[in-house]
Structure 1
Amino acid sequence: MAATEPDVTNRTMRRIAIASGTGTVIEYYDFFIFATAAALVFPKVFFPALGSAAGVVASFATLGVAFVARPLGSVLFGHFGDRLGRKRTLVTTLLIMGLATALVGLMPTAEQIGVIAPILIVILRFMQGLAVGGEWTGATLMAAENAPKAKRGFWSMFGALGGSIGFVLASVTFLIIGETMSDETFHSYGWRIPFIASLLLIAIGLFVRLKIDETPVFKGEVSQRGTSRAPFVEALKSQPREIAFASGVLVMTFAFYYLAVGYLINYGTAVLKLPRTTVLLIGIAAGLMFGLAIVLGAAYSDRVGRKKVILAGNAVAVVWALALFPILDSASAVTFAIGSCVTTLIAGFAYGPVGAFMPELFQTRYRYTATGFNYNVAGVVGGAVPPLVAAAITAAHGGFTFGIFLAVLCLISLGCTLALRETRNAEMSEPVKAPVH
């Protein structure tokens, strides 16, 4: 019996895309308000005893904790997503993320409770990382497993696009709050408002996600073959090559994007001495550029293939990595804007096809686990490490040396993408054969 495509109307796909994108808007809004606060506030609020430079390093290390948690979250929530379904798992990740974020907004400072404050922040950040580890994958599979093959790249990009919108929303929120109160008030309690306000967004996200159905591809797999008892182990045994190389595909995208929306915010204010308002406005522009590039990359991948688009983005990234810091170091708002926006443009173009490319690589019975694991391992290598080491490398050896480090990461992504097959014509459900025991 041949595999068949889901019979889904455009109206249904629009509803699924909204549910997918809305959830990730909320998830990544929560994720990025933490990143923004880590750049602007946390060194003074939670790590004052370490001094300015060490406080920044410690603050960005809390970002790294989330990235370490993300692969664990991908295996945990991937297991349940492959056994219990995509929808239930997505609701769970949203609730965990929301509660952890709200508690960050209520956290006493180091001045009030001492060393317990940064410890609790690390724990909450770990919980956020666990939730995000299962979020993007479930949201993406919800669209990819429903979409028609010819437009799967386009429909599958809404989870990624939600991340872009979430970042812009977080930046706008901090900008409004920062501009309507003094620096003293902002550092005292103003920074807490975006975290607590996220509870309203969580309620909206739950309402939207509870309205969608489980994917027909997953329901068909369960009825025909049952579920895998150990999805992660089965994925490693069945598709070790894809597991090995798919993790590298997104290293450049994570490195460029989190550099732009995390470290460069601090670099622009602390090193280049640009006004905070200017840096946040440029960050918003960079986030919008990221979203536009995602749409272009995803749509184009439906015409020429996922692999060609991702390869093009990674190839350009190698050159840009070497040029970025020499451009930034002219210390003007214009060059800072160019550096930030081009960085997110390149990252977004390569990221656009990934929402279809990753799920198309793997079989349904362990797709949630395998896709999420590869996505989040790339997050550790590309998203956590560069911002963590950037300050030390640029201070000791200059920005160009750090650019060489970035270029090496881009080459890793380029090589891993070359090693994988084109997936544009892949079927999302497998032909029915003998039952798997």
Structure 2
Amino acid sequence: MTTISAAAPARPHTATRRVAAAATVGTALESYDFYTYSYFAAFFAGPFFFAALGPAGALLASFATIGIAFVVRPIGAVVFGHLGDRIGRRSTLLITIALMGVATGMVGLLPTGDGWALFGAVAIVLLRIVQGLSLGGEWGGAVLLATEHADARRRPFFASLPQLGSPIGSVAAGGLMLTMFFGLGPEAMAAWGWRIPFLIAIPLIAVSLYLRWSIDETPVFKALASTGGRERMPVLAAIRTQPAAFGVAILVALLGIGSYSLMNTYTMGYGVATLGFDEMQLLTAATIGGLLQFAAVPFFGWLATRIGSARVVALGALGTLLIAFPVYWLLGSATFAVLVTLMVVGGILPTASWAALGGTMQELFHGRHAYSALSVAYALAAVLAGFIPYLTAELGVLTGGAWWHPGIVLAVLSALTLVGAVMAQRMRHLGDEDADAAQALTEERVAEPA
């Protein structure tokens, strides 16, 4: 296997930064879209498009449109994973970001009023399907774009940068929505203000497309294309040749994705309904934890360059396992200051597993089907994690609302991811081997005399 020479010239920092920005912008727009639409569904979608179903039915229908995107996400992972391994990472990410941005912007252009309710309901469902399909192909491609351009030493760090998209998008969407509610008032928001967060996606498309258009295809895909190494059916090839890696990848992803659903969805409602906290207290604590991710994600990405991505995932999982029950025990009698501390600690430890997730998964799979493998494994983990709030609520009913029932769910997620991380550490780093060989080949060609 060809390896990178120690004397190989370093890749330009400006190019690497641009690649990192191009990879991160899509996941940020994905998160921005999710939270913007979630707020829209909670406040406006029901009265605008589903009022004929009655108040309760309208609310359920509006929330169901959120779930549609998650249901079709694995389909998008298969479709765009195939394209990413056949036509290239860069080309596929141009398609996914365009679909995502256009669909989000078009929500802001939908007509409202009694005469448009049926049209709006159908359009919302179709646009959510488009968004869900594009989401399925975004994350895996972003991780590969960042890692396959980076050298071996910095690869784990750049794999963590797409994970910044989640706090960037959530803080941007939440901050904009709060500002508009306070600045415009409820009546203006209902009349026209709700459109602005969606329409902002349109200029964001232009920035995103420019960043991705201005970078080169990754060395790994170039090598595959030049040597005829592309798979005809990469999804099937990945499952057939690396089934164990698929299972490990899903386990590795569970805590990073599932803990967010548990802490920021279920625990919010549980904290208000059962523990008696004020909604604004919980939102403030969660926002503080989200802001800290801006520092925590790069830090854990840097740590992964020192000890390895899988070890960072394992440390986050082990730490979360140890605090799973104490956090929920202390929440029952916490002051606001303790609440903030618990939400921060309970968020930072899973963030370690979240930050190093991309690097760990990228290492597991051969480059010839890596886009498909990463996308499908991540999508399946996301679908499983989507049921976490429901399963936790059911467990709460079965246990009579015992304080420890959310701790069980968090501990199980942590234990599964810990097992996955240990197994990932013992597997060959096939993705790194392919990336190293492709970069070495590229550098040899550049060094050849004209």
Q: Are 1:21 and 2:24 matched, yes or no?
A: yes
C-alpha distance in 1, partners of 2:336/2:120? 35
Moved more, 113-122 or 358-367: 113-122
Q: Quick check: which has more Rg, 1 or 2?
A: 2
RMSD over aligned Cα atoms: 3.2
How far did residue 282 of structure 1 move?
3.7
Judged with a 3 Å threshold, the aligned counterparts in structure 2 of structure 1 residues 32 and 246 are, in CA distance, closer, same or farther, namely same
| Deviation of the 1:401 alpha carbon | 2.1
Could you tell me which residue of structure 1 aligns to residue 2 of structure 2?
A: 2
Pair 174,338 (structure 1): closer, same or farther in 2 beyond 3 Å: farther
Residue 305 of structure 1 is matched in structure 2 by 308
Distance of 2:11 and 2:212 partners within structure 1: 18
Structure 2 CA distance for partners of 1:353 and 1:99, relative to 1, 3 Å = same
Preserved contact between residue 290 and residue 347 of structure 1 (Cα < 8 Å): no
Alignment partners' CA distance in 1, 2:50 and 2:268: 18
Contact (CA 8 Å) 2:364, 2:429: kept in 1 or not? no
- 1:126 matched to which residue of 2? 129
CA contact (8 A) 2:360 2:424 kept: no
TM-superposed CA distance for 1:61, in Å, is: 4.1
Following superposition, the deviation at residue 348 of structure 1 comes to 1.5
Cα drift, residue 221 of structure 1: 1.6
Does structure 2 conserve the Cα–Cα contact (< 8 Å) formed by 1:24 and 1:159?
Answer: yes
Post-superposition CA distance 1:5-45 (Å, at most 9, x none): 79622222112112212232223212222234445555666
Is 1:253–1:347's contact at 8 Å kept on the other side of the alignment?
yes
Is the deviation greater in 35-44 or in 19-28?
Answer: 35-44
Structure 2 portions without partners, runs of 5+: 439-450
Counterpart pick for 1:387 among 383, 386, 389? 389
Contact 1:75 1:232 in 2 (8 A): yes
Aligned 8 A contact 1:23 1:209 in 2: no
Structure 1 residues not aligned, in runs of 5+? 433-437
> How many pairs were matched up?
430
C-alpha displacement of 1:224? 1.6
Paired residue type of 1:427 = E
Which residue of 363, 368, 373 maps to 1:365?
Answer: 368
Equivalent of 1:414 in 409, 418, 443: 418
Show the 5 A alignment for 1:216-231: 216-231=219-234
Give, in angstroms, the shift of residue 277 of structure 1. Answer: 5.6
How has the CA–CA distance of structure 1 residues 69 and 381 changed in structure 2, closer, same or farther, with 3 Å as cutoff? same
Q: Distance in 1 between matches of 2:367 and 2:137?
A: 16
Q: Aligned partners of 1:277 and 1:360: how far apart in 2?
A: 41
Deviation of 1:134 after TM superposition, in Å, equals 0.9
Query: Percent identity between the aligned chains?
Result: 34
Distance 1:243 1:176, change over 3 A: same
Q: Conserved in 2, the CA contact under 8 Å of 1:110 and 1:117?
A: no
The one-letter amino acid paired with 2:415 is L
Alignment of 1:51-130 (within 5 A): 59-107=62-110, 113=116, 117-118=120-121, 120-130=123-133
Q: Following TM superposition, by how much is the alpha carbon of 1:111 offset from its aligned partner in structure 2, in angstroms?
A: 6.3
**Aligned partners of 1:55 and 1:318: how far apart in 2?**
39
Partners of 1:318 and 1:410 within 8 A in 2: yes
Please point out which of 215, 218, 223 is paired with 1:212.
215
SS of 2:374 mapped into structure 1: helix
Tell me the residue number matched to 2:358: 355
1:428 to 431, 434, 449: 434
Report the TM-score when normalising by structure 2: 0.84
2:147 paired with 1:141: no
Residue 99 of structure 1, CA deviation: 1.8
Q: Is the 8 A contact 2:151 2:436 kept in 1?
A: no
- Residue equivalent to 1:198: 201
Quickly say closer, same or farther: Cα 1:39–1:428, change in 2 above 3 A: farther
CA gap 1:66/1:157 in 2 versus in 1, 3 angstroms: same
Q: TM-score, normalised by structure 1?
A: 0.86
Q: 2:180 aligns with which of 177, 190, 212?
A: 177
Distance 1:129 1:207, change over 3 A: same
1:267-306, aligned counterparts within 5 Å? Answer: 279-306=282-309
- For 2:355, give the aligned amino acid: G
Q: Per the alignment, do residues 283 and 72 of structure 1 end up closer, same or farther by CA in structure 2, a change over 3 Å counting?
A: same
CA 45–256 in structure 1, closer or farther in 2 if over 3 Å, else same? farther
What SS class does the counterpart of residue 212 from structure 1 fall into?
A: coil
- What is the one-letter code of the residue matched to 1:75? V
Within the candidate set 372, 377, 402, 1:374 is matched to 377
Q: CA deviation at 1:195?
A: 1.3
Q: CA deviation at 1:79?
A: 0.3
User: How far has the Cα of 1:66 moved from its partner?
Assistant: 1.9
Structure 1 residues 158, 430: closer, same or farther in 2, change over 3 A? closer
| Letter paired with 1:152 | R
Amino acid corresponding to residue 412 of structure 2 in structure 1 = V
Pairing 1:35-46 to 2, within 5 Å after superposition: 35-39=38-42, 42=45
- Do the aligned partners of residues 394 and 60 (structure 1) sit closer, same or farther apart at CA in structure 2, a change above 3 Å counting? farther
Residue identity in the other structure for 2:27: T
Relative to structure 1, the CA distance from residue 351 to residue 235 in structure 2 (aligned partners, 3 Å threshold; closer, same or farther) is same
Between the aligned partners of 1:386 and 1:55, the Cα distance in structure 2 is 24
